Structure 1
Amino acid sequence: MSPTPATPTAPTGSDTDSDAAHLASLGYSSEFKRDMSPWANFSLGFTYLSPVVGVYSLFAYALATGGPPMIWSFLIVGVGQLLVALVFSEVVAQYPVAGGVYPWARRLWGRRWAWMTGWIYLIALLCTIASVVYGAGPYLASTFGFAPTVNTAIVCSLAILALATVINFLGTRVLATAAVIGFTAEIVGALAVGGWLLATHRHHNLGALFDTFGAQGSHSYLWAFAAAGLIGVYQYYGFEACGDVAEEVPDPGRLIPKAMRRTIYIGGAAATFVCLALVLSVADIPAVISGKDADPVTTLLDQAFGTVGSKVVLGIVLLSFLSCAMSLQAAASRLAFSYGRDDMIMGSRLLRKFSQAKHVPPYALLLAAIVPAVVVVGSKISTDALTKVISFAAVGIYLGFQMVVLAALRARLKGWQPSGKYRLGRWGLPVNIAALAYGLLAIVNMCWPRTPGTPWYDNWIVPLSAVVVVGIGLLYMAVHRSHGRSDAPYDDAIPKAAALPGS
């Protein structure tokens, strides 16, 4: 399904001219510098996906909910998200434009669909940035021995957010270098920590991966597995960030699809290995399931590495959180810049401004720092309110994904023939249908209420948050019709001769 890979080479003048000519044919003249190498582009997606952040954040919940078999969700979700990545690969190969899902939806469907796709995805990204830096706060506080108070968590979170912002402001080359460093530290750390746990602290054999330890209670294990499988669902996104910076990568039509698939393969394998090492090394799994050990990761690291060793591991974890926040910011800022460049939203005059010195969109980057900072500071008023805000993060990203997948399917049925350097050929339609089916099932799983003892609005918080975000977006579109004034190219994937009447 993929073209024969070519050996990566440094871009020549003719390569750069070809990239610029392709972009010009799509209606844009880029101000970004193509300083991001293929490995840096992959590293950006990998650090956004971040196996350490994803696994360490949800391991306790997943193990308590579904027992060790929850690890199989990584395989199931990995295959599903690979299908999505293959659809994205065809689209970005033909439309290598900064901003990712927004410009893709614009070319596949139209301005209104693109506006809503970008709106949902941008809000989800900003909430995800807030959730990542807030999740890193306790680790930073623990590393330096600070008391675990709300104020300490906020200060530590803002410190990580500020550092990620500074790195992004230093330009594409520094961002690329930081992404590669983050990838190297995270993959080496994941392998080293996992290898050490398996070699010195393993308490179970592989048979434990098929033992639920009674996690399902009196109910069918299918429901417990579906709930615990959220660890896989929340893990496998980030590959799309490779396409968000398409104007900063040489030969993007060939290299970005490869980076997306590599992110799924290597990121998924690393996440599965980390989870495997943790599962087999937890001494008392029933204690985790019963709630007696609410933080098995910290318990395990303290037991396996001691005070000094656990500090080193915490340092790797912190670097992973920083790299993840940095990559998320890069993706969010390019999306906001793309919105502004097309004059699609209030504040476009600022969002489309570009720093010629650093070759970054400064105001779009500020947006990707200020909004998450406000969300984090809001935890001072109510930590519960923060939880409600960021509950939209993952489902919003999946919604943005599936709006592009649906747009691609609609375009295929109307005659779109992908013409980029990466094409699925006759596999395009079945892969597209399977990707849409998977994504819809994943969204239903995320939205399914699982806390019957709580007030109804808490039980339904994930779908309710999605309804609120979409509702605000629709209201904005009705009141401030900027999307209708944008004259940037749109709806040009479908051959006009093949388009249905009235489309």
Structure 2
Amino acid sequence: MHHSEHDDAHLASLGYTSEFRRDMSPWANFSLGFTYLSPVVGIYTVFAVSLALAGPPMIWSLLIVGVGQLLVALVFSEIVAQFPVAGGVYPWARRLWGKKWAWMTGWVYLLALLTTIASVTYTAGFYVAPVLGIEASTDTVIICGLATILLATLINFLGTRVLAMAAVIGFTAEIVGALAVGGWLLIAHRHHGVGVIFDSFGAAPHGSYVSAFLAASLIGIYQYYGFEACGDVAEEVPNPGRLIPKAMRRTIYIGGAAATFVCLAFTMSVANIGAVLDGSDPDPINTVLVEAFGSVGSRLVLCVVLISFLSCAMSLQAAASRLAYSYGRDDMILGSSLFKRFSAKRAVPPYALILAGVVPALIVLLSRVSTDAVTKIVSFAAFGIYLGFQMVVFAALRARLKGWEPSGAYRLGKWGLPVNIAALVYGVGAMVNMAWPRTPDAAWYDNYLVLLSAAVVVVIGVVYMALHRSYGRSNAPFNDAIPDSEPLIAPHLLEPEVVQ
């Protein structure tokens, strides 16, 4: 049987017929995950804060978090190999547990994705300003953020093939840029040896260094997600049960190595690390770039950085739109009739894509009224993604204990249970670290901002589920990973509404 026929048959056995085109090559699938993870975006965004908190040893968090997220990726690999359905964490949670758990998992993850898109595109504005030689005013940042969202949305609207091509271009630009910039810094602008990563330079002089390191480790925690995007587009990849698990692992390996290389290069190139720690140099990346490349050269580097921001936003949108489409196809949420509509011409879900563009744009526009409000909204982004991850990891552990044995092309075998447990322990620990209050002088609601924002999202989701029981009307298959469970619904082919 030809791969495409086998893929269609596998999907049909899971209860679906897909309208997507399997135009995404393994390389493009990996590139999508890589550009979502985006080592350049992650390092350029958080480097200054982490270095100021814990000094150069903060780089070790990239290794620690990389191992933890690899465990999560291995769990996801088993799931997507058995259930290669568009939408990622929502359909996975649905098959592992049930409709209510899946609804809440998807809700948390969708809002986290939308706020992350807003966060990435808003931050991009601060890099556009020095490229154009203008002040990064509120209006400038907003305009640049909206332009990034618009361009990413247009790319996504052109279909899977164009999205795949754009992802490969974004990956190539980012990896070449990272290697070129990092290599030049290490060759021509290095001020420290490798041993600098063992020197804290007196960070946290009045407190525990462990606490400072945990706070600085957010550079790693904010870095290693994006691999799940490889599975969000499972119906657009040929032979997904074999290829997507490979793409997920490569995203961790290559993305993590690139991020660590960039972080090491900048750390060894900061001439005065003490000035970063005491706050007199709040933007060490810009300082290093100007010193190493000059004003013109640093602008060229920032142009590559902006390509990385665009690629990251594009990949995030693709993931969010497939999740919204998956919700709509299963009739799980208000507006399902729109979200499940599909453009046969473009082979994309148009209204789901519009949602992934409009909501982040509104959040960016909100900064015109209150920058503080935007900060509060996007503070949920990374925590929400981790929460969505761990809801799937927990569902997988529960299913294993009830007898689930992964039957896809990728299986961990006897290592499945210990890896699952370790992934859950790591994920919960990372969320505790993200939510831990670290600003005792601030108002209590600011000190617990991450936890409060997550609680608000969950409470709104619970209220919605209580008032609008759309999940109860969904007749798509669920809870079928666990053997010998009572038959819940016979799988059937679900035909999405097609838009010409």
Normalised TM-score (structure 1): 0.96
Task: Please give the residue correspondences for 1:173-252 in structure 2 after superposition, counting only pairs within 5 Å.
Answer: 173-252=161-240
Give, in whole Å, the separation in 2 of the partners of 1:262 and 1:419.
22
Alignment of 1:13-32 (within 5 A): 14-32=2-20
> Do structure 1's residue 466 and structure 2's residue 440 form an aligned pair?
no
CA distance in 2, matches of 1:203, 1:142: 25
Contact 2:90–2:103 (Cα < 8 Å) also in 1: yes
3-state SS of paired residue (2:342) = coil
Residue of structure 2 aligned with 1:255, choices 243, 246, 257: 243
Q: Distance in 2 between matches of 1:360 and 1:207?
A: 50
Residues 253-332 of structure 1 aligned to structure 2 (within 5 Å):
253-332=241-320
Aligned to 2:414: 426
- The one of 405, 426, 441 equivalent to 1:438 is 426
> Aligned partners of 1:441 and 1:118: how far apart in 2?
21
Question: Structure 1 residues 145-154 or 252-261, which shifts more?
Answer: 145-154
CA distance in 1, matches of 2:229, 2:389: 12
Deviates more, 1:444-453 or 1:140-149: 140-149
Question: Structure 1 residue 141: deviation in Å?
Answer: 2.4
Measured in 1, the distance between the counterparts of 2:172 and 2:144 equals 24
Does the CA contact (< 8 Å) of 2:18 and 2:235 recur in 1? Answer: yes
Is 2:151 aligned against 1:160? Answer: no
Residues in 1 aligned to 2:404 and 2:150: alpha-carbon distance in whole angstroms: 43
Of the three residues 106, 125, 132, the one matched with 1:137 is 125
Q: Which runs of 5+ in 1 are unaligned?
A: 1-12
Distance 1:147 1:412 in 2: 55
Q: 1:376 maps to which residue?
A: 364
What letter is aligned with 2:266? L
Q: For 1:380 and 1:267, how far apart are their aligned partners in 2?
A: 34
CA contact (8 A) 2:72 2:423 kept: yes
Q: Which amino acid aligns with 1:367?
A: L
Measure, in 1, the Cα distance between the counterparts of 2:251 and 2:264. 19
The Cα of 1:343 is off from its aligned counterpart by 0.2
In structure 2, what residue type is equivalent to 1:91?
I
The 5 Å alignment of 1:39-118 reads 39-118=27-106
| Structure 2 Cα separation of the partners of residues 498 and 23 of structure 1 | 22
What is the Cα deviation at residue 127 of structure 1?
Answer: 0.2
Mark the CA change 1:30 to 1:498 in structure 2 (over 3 Å): closer, same or farther.
closer
Give the C-alpha shift of residue 497 in structure 1: 5.2
- Mapped to 1, the partners of 2:438 and 2:202 lie a distance apart of 18
**Gapped regions of structure 2 (runs ≥ 5):** 488-500
CA positional deviation for 1:206: 1.2
Listed one character per residue, the Cα deviations across residues 52-82 of structure 1 (whole Å, up to 9, x for unaligned) are 0000000000000010000000000000000
Tell me by how many angstroms 1:318 deviates.
0.2
Q: Distance in 1 between matches of 2:302 and 2:269?
A: 18
Q: Distance in 2 between matches of 1:156 and 1:266?
A: 29
- Distance change in 2, residues 1:136/1:497 (3 Å): closer
Aligned: 1:35 with 2:23: yes
Measured in 1, the distance between the counterparts of 2:207 and 2:282 equals 22
Post-superposition shift, 1:218? 2.1
From 354, 361, 365, the equivalent of 1:366 is 354
1:489 Cα shift?
0.4
User: 1:140 is paired with a residue of what secondary structure?
Assistant: helix
Identify the range of structure 1 (145-154 vs 192-201) with the bigger mean alpha-carbon deviation: 145-154
User: Aligned AA for 2:45?
Assistant: S
> Could you tell me how far 1:149 is from its partner in structure 2?
1.1
Cα deviation, 1:284-318, whole Å, max 9, x if unaligned, reads 00100000000001111011000111111011000
Q: Give the AA of the match of 1:432.
A: N
SS of aligned partner of 2:385: helix
Task: State the Cα distance separating 1:498 from its structure 2 match.
Answer: 9.4
Supply the distance in 1 between the matched residues of 2:397 and 2:158 (Cα, whole angstroms). Answer: 39
How far 1:142 moved relative to its partner? 2.0
Alpha-carbon separation, structure 2, partners of 1:234 and 1:139? 19
Q: Which amino acid aligns with 1:19?
A: D
Query: Quick check: 1:494 aligned with 2:482?
Result: yes
Q: Following the alignment from structure 2 to structure 1, what is the Cα–Cα distance between the partners of residues 21 and 128? A: 34
User: Aligned runs of 1:391-402 on 2, under 5 Å?
Assistant: 391-402=379-390
Which string of whole-angstrom CA distances, capped at 9 and with x for unpartnered residues, describes residues 441-460 of structure 1?
00000000111111110110
Q: CA deviation at 1:146?
A: 3.0
Q: What TM-score results when the alignment is normalised by the length of structure 2?
A: 0.97
The yes-or-no answer on 1:335 pairing with 2:296 is: no
Helix, strand or coil at the partner of 1:380: coil
Q: Aligned with 1:320: secondary structure?
A: helix
SS at match of 2:343: coil
| 1:450 maps to 2:458 | no
Deviation track 1:313-338 (CA, whole Å, cap 9, x = no partner) reads 01100000000000000000000000
1:468-494 deviations in Å (ceiling 9; x for gaps): 000000000000000111000000000
User: What letter matches 1:56 in structure 2?
Assistant: Y
| 1:216 Cα offset (Å) | 1.5
- Out of 132, 136, 149, the residue aligned to residue 148 of structure 1 is 136
Match of 2:492 in 1: none
| Counterpart-to-counterpart distance in 2, 1:149 and 1:437 | 42
Contact map agreement 2:322 2:352 (CA 8 A) in 1: yes
- Cα-to-partner distance string for 1:367-396 (whole Å, 9 max, x where unaligned): 000000000000000001100000000000
Name 2:107's counterpart in structure 1.
Answer: 119
Contact residue 415 and residue 498 of structure 1 kept, 8 A: no
- 8 Å contact from structure 2 (residues 40, 305) kept in 1: yes
Report the identity percentage.
73
Amino acid at match of 2:469: R
Partner of 1:6: none
Q: Which amino acid aligns with 1:328?
A: L
Distance of aligned partners of 1:497 and 1:341 in 2 relative to their CA distance in 1, 3 Å threshold: closer
Task: Measure, in 2, the Cα distance between the counterparts of 1:275 and 1:498.
Answer: 52
Tell me the alpha carbon deviations over residues 170-213 of structure 1, each in whole angstroms, 9 at most, x when there is no partner. 00000000000000000000000000000011001111111111
Name the CA distance, whole Å, in 2 between partners of 1:50 and 1:217: 33
| Alignment-mate amino acid for residue 281 of structure 1 | S
Contact 1:246 1:252 in 2 (8 A): yes
Query: Counterpart in 2 of 1:409?
Result: 397
Paired letter, 1:193: V
Corresponding residue for 2:496? Answer: none
Given that 1:414 and 1:498 are in contact with CA atoms closer than 8 Å, whether structure 2 keeps it comes out as no
TM-superposed deviation, 1:225: 0.5
- The amino acid that maps onto 1:316 is V
